[in-house]
Structure 1
């Protein structure tokens, strides 16, 4: 694969050309030249888009792919193509498969199945056996197979001693523990944010307190044990404050926010549309604004699509019976650019890689190309034609978006959007 990208704004703080308009040449997947102007050579592909920006490849820290077990929702092959066309060169895949990703062999299956793709797949191993929240899974064995973190997707760790042991044990191999922020005993059969909207609609509430108590507990345990903790998809103003305080203490904690929670509020539930039934639930405008402020001041480390394909039998139901989740990768850039600048967006879409993998994508001569191509110009409306996933449970249908993904170059492949 030989490519010349021309007149592109390069945004990578590790590069001397950061912020400059340059040409980039890639040969056999390796960046060979970066200069203000490069002459064409025989046999190379020319890429030249209007208002083109190139950044280090994006990393999505929370993605669900049905395979194995739920291929009707999404397959690994198509899931990686969706990620590529949405601008991501790597994704962390949640263990909510069947069987649950809780062993060396199940981690190896995912990695082997994803080989030879432009997008790199990194498995998140289940923290507990079968994701049941009782006994720790074989964490070290999964690490040796390629798992990059451990957590039970959208299932809180109810037993505080289990979290304590996990944080202590994973220190021996620098493992990252994920703890979903929800105190289950305060939620029971909650469907939506506890507040005026839920009361008006007659829906059982999920109180913000359930998130605050769990995060406070987890941070106390982290302070006691040490270790590395990641709190996925926070959703409230108080959660931002708690994590900001913990970071000020020097605790090794990071957090993410799902794209839906910074774009929408619980007012979207007025029509009982199950596309907006997500977990954590959409909160109020005060919480949404606090989350955006947390992104801008660095308290929230990364944005995730929290992409969760679900088939029609699980979403086109009465609100109480529908499952939580939305697909979101296809709309992530466009929605995020309506809230932050392109440079902030790049940071929020790349920060997860170093936290989860210990690596950082750089646009450097002599290194393999791992880049995302996009523009921050232009507006559009997200429609059914923009859905690339097998499942169609998209909360972002009708959303007003900004910018556009042009594609990615990674693993010696160019995937155009």
Structure 2
């Protein structure tokens, strides 16, 4: 396949063409030419789109697809097609399936189901058997079958010694351990951020302290053991400071933040819309400001959608009974594009996650694989259910005004627009 992209503004700080508008010729999935103007002598397929920008393909490190076990929420096939049309050329899929992805057979099943798509799927293995925080799962076997990191999705490691042993053991094969930041003895049955709004609405509070205490504990253990620790979806100002201090000490710690925690506060709770029930909960404007500063300063490494499809039977119910989670692949770019500096946003979706999870990086230059996301950063619209491609429709951004539209991806020698 030969493809000619016309007049694309390149956003890639690793490329010699960063912030330049160029034509790009691609043949059999490899970038052949990048020039000011390329004549289409071979009558190749052309891509010429309004205000076209391209970057390295985006990588979302926290996605749930349901399959196996929860196909009514999302299948791998529809999930990967949704990811591609949302600008993601790679996704890391959480192990909260049924059965839990805690062994090589389940990892192999997930990988086999994901063959042949534009978007590449990288499984995350469960850290403990059945994600029950009791016994360590088959980490080395899962790594050999394609798992890129290990953690129990939204389930904290309550046993400190278990985390200690995991960090020590994983060093034998350069494994990355993920620890969800929540102390359940403090969080208990909390539903939303413990603040004025939780009191006003009569909803059980989930204090920032629950997150911060767990992070402090995990960082002490990391300092003792060494190894590599990734803390997913932090949400408070104090969490940013704790991780900043740990990085200054030279600890190998990285972290991510979700798109919705960067733009929405707990003021969204006023309508008791169960789509706003997420974990970690929506916090305050003070926390948002600290999270954005943490991104700009390089303390926070990755932005994720934390895409978690929930079927209507478990979401459109009384707030206290609804499951935590929102979809987010389709809305991530539009929600953040005018909030986060463009270079910071793109880095947090491309080079940063790939370095941390040890995934191949393809910068935009001649001879590299064409692994590209195509988008228009200036298109403003209201996000409605018509924009949702996922099987489940539980979006926290429904009816929000977004700016920035994704055209699609070019990856794995496939074009999805």
User: TM-score by structure 1 length?
Assistant: 0.98
For 1:40 and 1:131, locate their aligned partners in 2 and report how far apart those are by CA, in whole Å: 54
Of 36-45 and 26-35, more deviation after overlay is shown by 36-45
Whether contact under 8 Å (1:342, 1:376) holds in the other structure is no
1:266 is aligned to 266
Q: Alpha-carbon deviation of 1:357?
A: 2.5
Alignment of 1:157-168 (within 5 A): 157-168=157-168
How far is 1:358 from its partner? 4.1
Is the aligned partner of 1:388 residue 2:385?
no
Q: How does 1:68-83 map to 2 (within 5 A)?
A: 68-83=68-83
Aligned to 2:290: 290
The residue matched to 1:287 in structure 2 has which SS? Answer: helix
Match of 1:356 in 2: 357
Query: Hey, what does 2:151 align to over in structure 1?
Result: 151
Q: Which residue of 2 aligns with 1:104?
A: 104
1:135 aligns with 2:135: yes
Q: How many residues end up aligned between the 2 structures?
A: 416
3-state SS of paired residue (1:330): coil
After TM superposition, give the deviation of residue 129 of structure 1 in Å: 0.3
Q: d(CA) in 1 for partners of 2:126 and 2:97?
A: 10
Per-residue deviation at 1:2?
1.3
Q: Which runs of 5+ in 2 are unaligned?
A: none
Which residue in the other structure is 1:406 paired with?
Answer: 407
- Root-mean-square deviation (CA), in Å? 0.9
* TM-score, L = length of structure 2: 0.98
Q: Gaps (5+ residues) in structure 1?
A: none
Aligned to 1:341: 341
SS of 2:23's equivalent?
strand
2:362 and 2:368 in contact (8 A); partners too: no
Contact 1:2 1:43 in 2 (8 A): no
Match of 1:38 in 2: 38
**Residues of 2 paired with 1:177 and 1:230: CA distance?**
6
2:29 is matched with which residue? 29
Counterpart Cα distance in 1 of 2:280 and 2:159: 20
Residues 13-66 of structure 1 show CA distances to partners (whole Å, capped at 9, x for unaligned) of 222222211110011111111111111032421001121111100000100001
In 1, Cα distance between the equivalents of 2:381 and 2:253? 36
Query: Is 1:20 the counterpart of 2:23 in the alignment?
Result: no
**Any idea what SS the aligned residue of 2:212 has?**
helix
> 1:333 and 1:213 mapped to 2: Cα distance?
31
- Of residues 292-301 and 36-45 in structure 1, the stretch that sits farther from structure 2 once superposed is 36-45
Q: Deviations over 1:95-141 (max 9, x none)?
A: 00000000011111111100010000000000000111100000000
